[in-house]
Amino acid sequence: MIKRRPHVLITGGSRGIGAACAERFAAEGYSVTVLYKSRRGRAEDLAERLRETGADILPICADIRKEEEVRAAVTTANLQFGAVDILVSNAGIASQKLITDVSSEEFRDMLETHVTGLFHAVQAVLPGMIARKRGTIVTISSIWGLTGASCEVAYSTAKAAVIGFTKALAKEVGPSGITVNCVAPGVIDTDMNALLNDEDIASLCDETPLGRIGTAQEVADAVFFLASERSSFITGQVLSPNGGIVI
C-alpha cells in the first residue's frame, strides 16, 4: 500500500503569504490545495511552477464567504488528495480608511472575508479531522489584531476576531487531538503593503528593532512550524513574526 502525502489546504493561496506557504509545504512533500478568489493567473502560474518540481498541487477558485463554494472545494480536494490534514486559513483583504469613511458594506465584507470565511473553511474540514482524531489548523491574523491600528479599524477588528476564534476553537477540539494556532505577522513585503511608499517603508524599518520589514517566506516558516510535529504540544497560541515592532 502506497502511503499518501499529507494534505494541506491553504485559503488565499495564490499570492503573498499564501503562495509562500504553498511553496514551503510543497518543498516538504505535502500535497497542496490552494483556494483563490480572483487571482486565476497567479494561481495557475504557481501550480505550474510547483508541478515542475514534482509537487502535487491543486488550485481551486472559491469565494470563502460562500459556504457552498467552500464545501464544494473541500470535496474536490479530498477526492484529489485525500482528507485535509492541515488547514491554513490565510485569505484576507485590507484597507486603510478613517472609520467615518468606511461604508457598512466595506465593514461587512472585511468581517465576512476574514471571519466568516475562516468559519466556513473550518466547518468544511473539521468533521474529518475529528473522525481521525488528528489535524492541524493555522489561522493568519496580524499585529493589528493584537494592538489595533489607526485608520484600520475594520481590519483590526477582523484580525482580532481571528485570534479569539483560534483560542476558543483550540479549547473545543483539543480533546480530539487537533491543534489550532495563529500566526500574526508584522509588516511583510507583500502586495497588501504595496501602497506604502519608500518613506513609509523606511519609517517602519526604523520602528522595527531588526531594522527591516519581513518576507512572506519568513511567515511561511512560522506557519510550517505550527503545522509540524515539532509543535505537537502547542495549541491556542499566537506566534508573531514581526521583527520586534510589537513586543
Are the beta carbons of 145 and 94 closer than 8 angstroms?
no
- Cell 491574523, residue located: 141
Catalytic residue (one of 30, 155, 165, 224): 155
> Could you please report the per-residue DSSP string of 80-126?
HH-S--EEEE---------GGG--HHHHHHHHIIIIIHHHHHHHHHH
> Which positions ≥6 away from 150 have C-beta within 8 Å?
none
| Nearest-angstrom CA–CA distance, 145 and 28 | 30
* Catalytic residue check, 155: yes
| Catalytic residue positions, numbered | 155
